[in-house]
Structures are given as structure tokens and as C-alpha cells.
């Protein structure tokens, strides 16, 4: 059995489509020079939707629209019933 440990050195070439430069000390740090390290690459992506989620947004929009139409229809039916009831009371009471 070997008690020696093997060290594997790798160089990061690209992360999420952004090329990175190695540190001059050779430590292999993956930071870009002249750009914010944490939120810089998210600047344009936070304002736009990913196209893969579009079917979900369409389905949720349809469900929301149906719910709004059903609730609106129920409110309209309730208002009509109240008006009919008031009209019948006026006829019966002779006012």
C-alpha cells in the first residue's frame, strides 16, 4: 500500500462562458481583473427571463386568467341575485 498522496493541479479555463485569468502567483485563483468578482456576470441576466421557463409562465398566466374570470363571474351572479331579490321585495311590499 502506498501512503503517498497525489496532487492534481488543474487550470480553470472558463466558468459559465466567462474566461478567467490565473493569478500571477500561480495559485490558480479564478478571478477576473477589472470586473467585480461576485455579481458582475449577473448584471444583464437578472432583468430577463430564461426562455426555458416560458411554458411555465404561460401556463400560470392561463390559470390566473381563468381564476380571475371565474371569480368575476361569481361576483356578477351574486350582484344580479341581490338586485333580483331587492326588486321582488319592492314588488311584494308595494313601494
Q: pLDDT category, 24, cuts 50, 70, 90? A: low
Q: What is the pTM of this model?
A: 0.46
Cβ neighbours around 20 below 10 Å, total: 17
Q: Burial-class residue 7 by CB neighbours within 10 Å (0-12, 13-18, 19+).
A: exposed
User: Tell me, what's the pLDDT at 31?
Assistant: 47
Q: What is the DSSP letter of 53?
A: G
User: Tell me, what's the pLDDT at 28?
Assistant: 43
52-80 burial code (b ≥16 CB/10 A, e <16) = eeeeeeeeeeeeeeeeeeeeeeeeeeeee
Amino acid at each position: 500500500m502506498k501512503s503517498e498522496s497525489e496532487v492534481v493541479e488543474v487550470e480553470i479555463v472558463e466558468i459559465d462562458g466567462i474566461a478567467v485569468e490565473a493569478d500571477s502567483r500561480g495559485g490558480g485563483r479564478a478571478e477576473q481583473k477589472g470586473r467585480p468578482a461576485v455579481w458582475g456576470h449577473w448584471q444583464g441576466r437578472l432583468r430577463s427571463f430564461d426562455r426555458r421557463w416560458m411554458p411555465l409562465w404561460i401556463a400560470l398566466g392561463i390559470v390566473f386568467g381563468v381564476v380571475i374570470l371565474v371569480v368575476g363571474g361569481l361576483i356578477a351572479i351574486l350582484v344580479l341575485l341581490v338586485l333580483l331579490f331587492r326588486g321582488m321585495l319592492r314588488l311584494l311590499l308595494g313601494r
